[in-house]
Amino acid sequence: MTASRSPNRSPAQRRGRAFRAADGRVLRVRPVRGDDVEALKRGFARLTPEQVRQRTFHRMNELSDEAAHRLADIDRATTAAYVVVDDDGEVRGEARLHLAPPGDSAEFALIVDPQMLGIGIGRALMRRLIEEARRRGLRELWGTVLADNALMLDFSHRLGAVRERVPDEAGVVRVRFDLARKLRSLPAPRS
Ligand SMILES: CC(C)(COP(=O)(O)OP(=O)(O)OC[C@H]1O[C@@H](n2cnc3c(N)ncnc32)[C@H](O)[C@@H]1OP(=O)(O)O)[C@@H](O)C(=O)NCCC(=O)NCCS
């Protein structure tokens, strides 16, 4: 049995936290669950081909059952994953972190429904990831971003990440959140 199928979370933790998006609607950010598979597949189907390339670095037409299960059934020792859901339970954004060796940092990735960009979903997800990374005592959170992905580069810069070159890889850059620092509009480190 996988960790996300047997979470020892309270009902409130499973339901997640409500937040008001910039367009006024109330959404929830919560940990991904094993029963999110179909909603994750529908959410993936709404992405633009360009978003799929930005998120996966590949071209994919659909999220297979197997891939959706991998996204939903996580090993919570090494991974944390969150979704933003609307009133109908549709997944409007998804974000995750994976611990990276030697264990004091993690790689992150996120994606927001193209019909709901610019209303604060990305920020809510990044905020949640940073909070979880700090809870786990991590030092930094970093993401690999295609060098032509201006939107993601601008988004991370606005939230306080620094941009770094990846040696010998011209097509990608790394964005890095230093978790010991206070980040713009994101949770402050615990003192
Ligand atoms: C980058 C992405 C996550 C942003 O999500 P979002 O929900 O639209 O972002 P938010 O609404 O939370 O906005 C957060 C900040 O980014 C800025 N931003 C959002 N969209 C922007 C745009 N089109 N142009 C400029 N700035 C923008 C916002 O203004 C806001 O900053 P501010 O509050 O200082 O003004 C989203 O565009 C996306 O899913 N991109 C594809 C996924 C991807 O590239 N993943 C890469 C692998 S990690």
Q: What angle do CA 113, 131, 54 make, to 5 degrees?
A: 30
From 151, 154, 157, 184, mutation site for ligand 1 pocket: most ligand atoms within 8 A of C-beta: 151
* Spatial CA neighbour of 55 closest among 106, 9, 113, 138: 113
Nearest residue by C-alpha to atom 29 in ligand 1: 118
Full set of structural domains in the chain with CATH: 15-178 (3.40.630.30)
Report the C-alpha gap between 136 and 160 in whole angstroms: 20
158 lines ligand 1 (CB under 6 A): yes
Residues of the chain with pLDDT under 50: 1-6
31 lines ligand 1 (CB under 6 A): no
pLDDT of 191 reads 54
Which residues, in sequence order, are bridge partners of residue 140?
A: 105, 178
Ligand 1 centroid, distance to 66 Cα (angstroms): 28
pLDDT tens digits for 6-60?
Answer: 457 788 778 899 999 999 999 999 999 999 999 999 999 999 999 999 888 888 8
Residue 164 phi, psi dihedral angles, 5° rounding: -135, 150
User: Measured over all CA atoms, what is the biggest interatomic distance in the chain, rounded to whole angstroms?
Assistant: 47
| pTM > 0.75: yes or no | yes
